[in-house]
Amino acid sequence: VFFRDTTRRKALELGVSGWVRNVPTGEVEACLEGSESAIDAMLAWLWEGPPHASVEDVRVISKEQGESEYASFDVVH
């Protein structure tokens, strides 16, 4: 379903920086940076995912304000 690449494209569209990667458990993990509205829009999109994706849960570990650490949004391997 190209979840990671579609996530990257959506993040860039929304002005979100950070990264996305697969983890050994079969889940997808992401780090998102951007404005509160951009992050909220990205989280809403993640609940749906790309066409043909099956999203069961979205967990937010932390929401923090601060300096941006990432200049772009990348797929990490």
| Burial of residue 31 (number of CB atoms within 10 Å: 0-12, 13-18, 19+) | middle
Indicate which residue of 4, 9, 21, 59 is catalytic: 4
The kind and range of the H/E element at 2 are: none
Indicate which residue of 9, 21, 22, 59 is catalytic: 22
Alpha helices in the chain (DSSP H): 3-14, 36-48
Query: Among this protein's residues, is 22 annotated catalytic?
Result: yes
Query: Among this protein's residues, is 59 annotated catalytic?
Result: no
- Active-site residue set: 4, 22
